[in-house]
Structure 1
């Protein structure tokens, strides 16, 4: 599971969690994470792995 926080001037705009299917060791995986609507300004997007 990946958790992404989209902020503007340190204030939370949106938080998104993404659940990935199991991926074997050494296998590269890719995904697209969509953030807030284009009408909302975001100056930072920080993502982290919540659980393996």
Structure 2
């Protein structure tokens, strides 16, 4: 298990920071999408109630 983590770290370092930035951006986009979906669903239900 620890060997795999070390291997992943080595691969990340080898591929460089751009891949890490891309992964981080993907996670951020996913979080923003989920948040917007939750907020949109809440406002939609409130609007339907009115």
* TM-score, normalization by structure 1: 0.19
Relative to total residues, which structure has the larger strand share, 1 or 2?
Answer: 1
* TM-score, normalization by structure 2: 0.19
Return the structure number with greater relative CO, CA threshold 8 A, min gap 6: 1
Relative to total residues, which structure has the larger helix share, 1 or 2?
Answer: 2
The structure having more radius of gyration, on CA atoms, is 2
